[in-house]
Chain A
Amino acid sequence: MSLLTAIILVPLLTALGLVFVPRNLRFGVRLIALASSALTLLLALVLFAGYDSAAAVDGFKFVQQIPWVESLGISYHVGVDGINLGLVVMGAIVAFAAACCSWEINRYEKEFYILLMVMTGGILGAFASLDLFFFYFFHELALVPTFIMIGVWGRGERKNYATFQITLYLSVGALLALAGLIALYLQSGANTFNIVQLTAHLKDQPLPAKAQQFIFPLLLFGFGILVSLWPFHTWAPLGYGSAPTATAMLHAGVLKKFGLYGLLRVALPLMPEAAQQWVAIIAALALGNILYCGLVAIRQRDLNLLIGNSSVAHMGFCFLGLASLSLIGVSGAVLVMVAHGLLAALTFGLSGYLHAHAGTLQMDQFGGLLRRMPFIGAAMVMAMLAGCGLPGFANFAGEVMVLFGAWKSFSWVVVFAAWGALVIGAVYMLRAVRNLLHGPLPEKWAALPDANLWRKLPFALLLGALLVLGFWPRLLTEKISASASGIVEMSNAGPERLLLKKPLRPLPVRSTAKTASQPKAAE
């Protein structure tokens, strides 16, 4: 059994095991969940330590493949390369932190932890899968608990509306992506869901341009909605604002990155010609995320809505990095994905702590908390500074790479993105610090407690990870760029291939696609 399989199985088996634990053993349930996510984290760290990009087979390590439905070419197939390695480890860190931050849940604990464990397993599975079927399946496995958790354990008056909206949006997004993935499977003619084989196959026999032009937008908008691509972003701030802390941490931090990962792993390299036609649009929409959502964040009075909007804004850098189709930009995008995952978990965790004690997150009601809560306050200042791209935190390295990488193709977009990163980001982040932590302390908060040692643990862990990657981004970038170079190369292959194989172009596009797919259907 691959280490990766163990990482996925630990939380899923824990979920199964928790079903048999009596529900009045509240502390026991929590302890089991904590132990299990700690074990997952430990295994993930072992995975990270054992990863060596040079020794990878086919570019992947820790591979395990078990055929499942051979006639359709579906198999359980997991493995990591430099791109998803960071995501898996980040996912495990955030999952552990989320479990730590779940102490605020005080009803139906058992069900909550079961769902949390299912979500964790699904997330890790989705990022580890090298088979399109399981890739999608694991994502859904993680997505469904999200809806339930917001609906049942959510907070605020607009909880039901938020649940409705997030379910609607994400289901539509997932469906579009599913349609795109199935179309890709049928059109490729390789009769396999195996991403590695599919990539190799399409490298030699690229998809016809017509098919690309039809599938790419499906994947772009399907995945895009899952990542809150502007203007399909409204579900995110409200959804996170209403979600219980752990769910917001896991979804905003990790699960959301699934769409970006899908774009990077599937859409860009497998449909390069369409990708090149669409990148300008992606870059423009990314600017929508960065500027528009940044400006919206400035106006928020509720801390969670502010964080939610800022998290949407940060996704813009990932999109911009991917759209650059350059090694620097794409590697930067992956680094931002990891960094933002840690940061989103940190900020939602902190706001969750505040909400649990104060019962509100309306920023104008606070002030001067730094004196009262030195640890939480200091962590929040650091998180906010990381959020506006301060060097020393991983986000800076990622965002700078994106800006450098995108300069050659989209100079003007970079100009505005830099404004969004440096100025707009600073405006809302500092405003939050000013309103929450600085100024005089209102009397009613004089009894707010600072975190004790155990509550500090998840925040210290997340901050530590952000700082380590910020001081030493090579820890990840070397691995990322080694694996991303192949993808970047494929994504850029379009025009030359177009020129080289010009005589092949007039081939009847649709009929080849059909003949390729029909025999399979007949089997």
Chain B
Amino acid sequence: MTLEALPWLILFLPLLAAVAITLFFQKDEERSANFSIGAVWIGFALSAALLFFTAGKAPLETAVNWLDVGGLKADIGLRVDSLSLLMLLVVTGVGGLIHIYSRGYMHGDAGFSRFFASLSLFTFSMLGIVLANNLLMMFIFWELVGVSSYLLIGFWFEKPSAADAAKKAFLTNRIGDFGFLLGIILVWATLGSLHFGELETALKNNPQALGALATTAGLLLFCGAVGKSAQFPRHVGLPDAMEGPTPVSALIHAATMVAAGVFMLCRIFFILNVPGSMALEVIAWIGGFTALLAALMAVQQNDIKRILAYSTLSQLGYMVMAIGLTAPGAAMFHLTTHAFFKALLFLGAGSVIHTLHHEQDIWRMGGLKTKLPVTYLTFLIGTLALCGVWPLSGFYSKDSILAAAAEHNIALFILGVTVAALTTFYMARLFLVAFLGPAKSDAAEHAHESPSVMTVPLRLLAVPSAIAGFFGLEAFLEKFFHPAEAGHATSFLETIFAPFNHSPLAAFFGLFAVLLGGSCAFSLYWNATRDVLPEKIGLLSRAMRNRFYFDELYEWFIARIQEALATFTDAFDRWIVMGLVRLTHGSVELTGRALRLLQTGNLQTYTFLFAAGVVALLYFVLH
């Protein structure tokens, strides 16, 4: 077996599992879970093998032609390089743990097999994005990811809120995809190819090849990321997506799908980063703005999953900002560490929700420290990592973003530090209220730890959440994005303290933000039984809780306008266009009726008319 076969296996095994489960094992829960979990773990093993065998070699590419008409050539082609390998490992590794966890979490659900089939379909789609070697294939899997997340969010489709949320999530994605597709067409029409390698060569040879369209093309492609990674102004969909089962939130809305936008931007970074393009500037600001906005929203949410969802939005904003600051390496670094600790946090939240019989309000939790020791401890690690406490993973990745900001744009640096403080504040709030303090409900009093099928993934995720920061990931990514500059080997201890040598400003401000946010949260929420913040900041708190009314605005702007347009068109169609048809119908019928009056069948009338005609004719002729 050649090396080329491996990526194909990695990609298609989950699809195979999904098809097999759907067609043959709908009733066999045991087997469907095994297939689904097996497919993704084999994928992980093969990805690791690929990493081992391709280390230090040129990127591996393998393709079959999908479409070739005229000048439009699109392959289903797989590209294995450092970027896709890292992402493969994240998707199959983190995804694999979530698969296992789901087995416990979904136990006893009527749609158990359907859940695993959808999970495998999602994995397949996600791996397609990761492995794609051209824009059209990426778009294909982009769409498939959209639809599998639709299926997963709407998994409990009988619940109206879940069904609506699924619909909304799909539409939100679709609006982004609209821009993405136009961007793809534009790039293809100007540069004549869809293949990443060919495009890169074309732009390297002639950086001005996109000409005046560079900004437009870049921003259109960015639209896709805006939709998938839920950046402003498409950020309204993600929290609704929490309607799905919690493992889905962890898999899709923390570790993988939402990261696809960031991954895509890294993949097409060479198109964005051309001279004369303003795209990166816009991207940086949108990312920064989303980070701030989402962090503010998270401060006043009470649903544990929603807090994590807004936090995800905010962290995605960081990553997008990093790309805008021409630091895709930092973005991918943060993406990876974030995948670990956010999946951990979501699964931990799921464990709490599971044991409290689907209670999601943090003000009805509390005192879980002793009752859920494993969940408590791992959640703590996740929280600290997310806040960016040295030496946990989040510190390093966030630091590399802040360092990039300090270097390029001081306004965004200040914004980034503010967001870091807010992050610590809301995460500390969540942790203090939900896990510490007195138990605030009966269910919380009688909570007990989840089964080991759920806690083992938590333990396993806690490890990389803690140590992924100084594991050489950054160097691995730097080598990919800046092959020329890499090469200085550093010792282990040096790596741990690297941020302080490298960019002390960013590192110290980052830690200062953690301290500030943390101490504020402690003073307000230590042993608190109710939220006192609303009294202190009043109106602002309400705006935060109501997400600054963006949902309403969105509802009004998108839904109403489209709806009004549809109503108008429908009325027009019904009354004007159909009216014309009816008019034709009516006038023909009227003429028919009028003519019928003449044909009475009465001989006298005919004779009379005949005679009258003769008289009239004679009169005209003789006159």
User: CB-CB < 8 A to B566: which residues of A?
Assistant: 295-296, 298-299
User: CB-CB < 8 A to B410: which residues of A?
Assistant: none
B-contacting 9-mer, from A94-102, A413-421, A505-513 = A413-421
27 cross-chain CB contacts under 8 A:
A164-B585, A234-B573, A234-B577, A234-B578, A234-B581, A295-B570, A296-B566, A296-B570, A299-B566, A327-B69, A391-B140, A391-B141, A401-B72, A404-B72, A404-B188, A407-B186, A418-B182, A422-B181, A430-B170, A430-B171, A437-B157, A438-B154, A439-B157, A439-B160, A441-B158, A473-B67, A480-B69
B163 touches A473 (CB 8 A): no
A434 touches B167 (CB 8 A): yes
B158 touches A298 (CB 8 A): no
Nearest opposing residue in chain B for A381, CB measure:
B151
* Interface residues, chain B, with chain A CB atoms under 8 Å away: 65-72, 136, 139-141, 143-144, 147, 154, 157-158, 160, 163-164, 166-167, 170-171, 174-175, 177-178, 181-182, 185-186, 188-189, 562-563, 565-567, 569-570, 573, 577-578, 581, 584-585
Determine the distance from Cα of A304 to Cα of B260 in the docked complex, in whole angstroms: 37
A430-B171, A474-B65 known; A392 vs B144 contact (CB < 8 Å): yes
* Interface residues, chain A, with chain B CB atoms under 8 Å away: 164-165, 168, 231, 234, 292, 295-296, 298-300, 326-328, 331-332, 368, 370-371, 385, 388, 390-392, 396-397, 400-401, 403-405, 407-408, 414-415, 418-419, 422-424, 426-427, 430-431, 433-434, 437-441, 472-474, 477-478, 480-481
User: CB-CB < 8 A to A403: which residues of B?
Assistant: 181, 185
Determine the distance from Cα of A292 to Cα of B71 in the docked complex, in whole angstroms: 31
CB distance from B574 to the nearest CB of A (A): 9
> Contacts A327-B69, A391-B140, A426-B174 given; 13 further ones with Cβ under 8 A?
A168-B585, A300-B570, A326-B70, A328-B70, A328-B72, A390-B147, A391-B141, A422-B175, A423-B178, A426-B171, A430-B167, A480-B69, A481-B69
Contact of B71 among A328, A391, A414, A422 (CB under 8 A): A328
B143 touches A391 (CB 8 A): yes
CB distance from B393 to the nearest CB of A (A): 35
CB distance from A89 to the nearest CB of B (A): 19
CB distance from A198 to the nearest CB of B (A): 26
Residue of B66, B164, B188 with highest tally of chain A CB at under 10 A: B66
Contact of B562 among A328, A407, A427, A473 (CB under 8 A): A427
User: CB-CB < 8 A to B68: which residues of A?
Assistant: 474, 477-478
Contact of A331 among B69, B171, B584 (CB under 8 A): B69
Nearest opposing residue in chain A for B588, CB measure:
A168
B70 touches A434 (CB 8 A): no
Determine the distance from Cα of A437 to Cα of B160 in the docked complex, in whole angstroms: 11
A400 touches B160 (CB 8 A): no
CB distance from A369 to the nearest CB of B (A): 10
User: CB-CB < 8 A to A422: which residues of B?
Assistant: 174-175, 177-178, 181
A328 touches B581 (CB 8 A): no
CB distance from A85 to the nearest CB of B (A): 16
CB distance from A291 to the nearest CB of B (A): 8
B67 touches A371 (CB 8 A): no
B178 touches A419 (CB 8 A): yes
Determine the distance from Cα of A478 to Cα of B69 in the docked complex, in whole angstroms: 7
A296 touches B569 (CB 8 A): yes
User: CB-CB < 8 A to B154: which residues of A?
Assistant: 438
Nearest opposing residue in chain B for A329, CB measure:
B70
Determine the distance from Cα of A393 to Cα of B157 in the docked complex, in whole angstroms: 23
A481 touches B66 (CB 8 A): no
A234-B577, A474-B68, A481-B69 known; A407 vs B185 contact (CB < 8 Å): yes
User: CB-CB < 8 A to B65: which residues of A?
Assistant: 474
Determine the distance from Cα of A473 to Cα of B72 in the docked complex, in whole angstroms: 13
User: CB-CB < 8 A to A414: which residues of B?
Assistant: 182, 185
User: CB-CB < 8 A to B147: which residues of A?
Assistant: 385, 390
Determine the distance from Cα of A13 to Cα of B143 in the docked complex, in whole angstroms: 46
B160 touches A440 (CB 8 A): yes
A390 touches B72 (CB 8 A): no
Residue of A332, A391, A415, A437 with highest tally of chain B CB at under 10 A: A391
Determine the distance from Cα of A368 to Cα of B68 in the docked complex, in whole angstroms: 42
B157 touches A415 (CB 8 A): no
Determine the distance from Cα of A255 to Cα of B573 in the docked complex, in whole angstroms: 24
A328-B70, A422-B181, A423-B175 known; A292 vs B569 contact (CB < 8 Å): yes
User: CB-CB < 8 A to B174: which residues of A?
Assistant: 388, 422-423, 426
CB distance from B478 to the nearest CB of A (A): 34
User: CB-CB < 8 A to B565: which residues of A?
Assistant: 295
Q: Interface SS of chain A: helix, strand, loop or mixed? A: helix
B189 touches A165 (CB 8 A): no
B570 touches A418 (CB 8 A): no
Determine the distance from Cα of A473 to Cα of B136 in the docked complex, in whole angstroms: 14
Determine the distance from Cα of A110 to Cα of B156 in the docked complex, in whole angstroms: 46
A438 touches B157 (CB 8 A): yes
Determine the distance from Cα of A433 to Cα of B170 in the docked complex, in whole angstroms: 12
Nearest opposing residue in chain A for B74, CB measure:
A400
Determine the distance from Cα of A383 to Cα of B135 in the docked complex, in whole angstroms: 26
User: CB-CB < 8 A to A405: which residues of B?
Assistant: 70, 72
CB distance from A428 to the nearest CB of B (A): 9
CB distance from A170 to the nearest CB of B (A): 13
Contact of B163 among A392, A426, A434, A481 (CB under 8 A): A434
Nearest opposing residue in chain A for B562, CB measure:
A427
Determine the distance from Cα of A232 to Cα of B283 in the docked complex, in whole angstroms: 45
A407-B189, A430-B170, A440-B160 known; A481 vs B144 contact (CB < 8 Å): no
CB distance from B186 to the nearest CB of A (A): 8
User: CB-CB < 8 A to B569: which residues of A?
Assistant: 292, 295-296, 299
User: CB-CB < 8 A to A396: which residues of B?
Assistant: 140, 143
Nearest opposing residue in chain A for B194, CB measure:
A404
Determine the distance from Cα of A300 to Cα of B157 in the docked complex, in whole angstroms: 22
Determine the distance from Cα of A403 to Cα of B160 in the docked complex, in whole angstroms: 35
A231-B577, A438-B154 known; A418 vs B67 contact (CB < 8 Å): no
Determine the distance from Cα of A1 to Cα of B140 in the docked complex, in whole angstroms: 44
Determine the distance from Cα of A424 to Cα of B175 in the docked complex, in whole angstroms: 10
Determine the distance from Cα of A418 to Cα of B166 in the docked complex, in whole angstroms: 22
User: CB-CB < 8 A to B164: which residues of A?
Assistant: 434
Contact of A426 among B144, B170, B577 (CB under 8 A): B170
CB distance from A487 to the nearest CB of B (A): 13
B158 touches A440 (CB 8 A): yes
User: CB-CB < 8 A to B157: which residues of A?
Assistant: 368, 370, 437-439
B167 touches A431 (CB 8 A): yes
User: CB-CB < 8 A to A407: which residues of B?
Assistant: 185-186, 189
CB distance from A242 to the nearest CB of B (A): 14
A474 touches B66 (CB 8 A): yes
B178 touches A418 (CB 8 A): yes
User: CB-CB < 8 A to A295: which residues of B?
Assistant: 562, 565-566, 569-570
A234-B581, A296-B573, A385-B147 known; A331 vs B70 contact (CB < 8 Å): yes
B181 touches A418 (CB 8 A): yes
Determine the distance from Cα of A415 to Cα of B175 in the docked complex, in whole angstroms: 12
User: CB-CB < 8 A to B584: which residues of A?
Assistant: 168
B570 touches A400 (CB 8 A): no
CB distance from B347 to the nearest CB of A (A): 27
Determine the distance from Cα of A298 to Cα of B177 in the docked complex, in whole angstroms: 20
Determine the distance from Cα of A354 to Cα of B186 in the docked complex, in whole angstroms: 43
User: CB-CB < 8 A to B581: which residues of A?
Assistant: 165, 168, 234
Contact of B189 among A231, A408, A440 (CB under 8 A): A408
Determine the distance from Cα of A299 to Cα of B562 in the docked complex, in whole angstroms: 11
CB distance from A286 to the nearest CB of B (A): 16
User: CB-CB < 8 A to A478: which residues of B?
Assistant: 68
Residue of B68, B136, B181 with highest tally of chain A CB at under 10 A: B181
Determine the distance from Cα of A480 to Cα of B140 in the docked complex, in whole angstroms: 22
Contact of A473 among B66, B71, B170, B177 (CB under 8 A): B66
User: CB-CB < 8 A to B72: which residues of A?
Assistant: 328, 401, 404-405
Determine the distance from Cα of A165 to Cα of B577 in the docked complex, in whole angstroms: 13
User: CB-CB < 8 A to B573: which residues of A?
Assistant: 234, 292, 296
User: CB-CB < 8 A to B175: which residues of A?
Assistant: 422-423
Determine the distance from Cα of A422 to Cα of B566 in the docked complex, in whole angstroms: 16
Nearest opposing residue in chain B for A309, CB measure:
B573
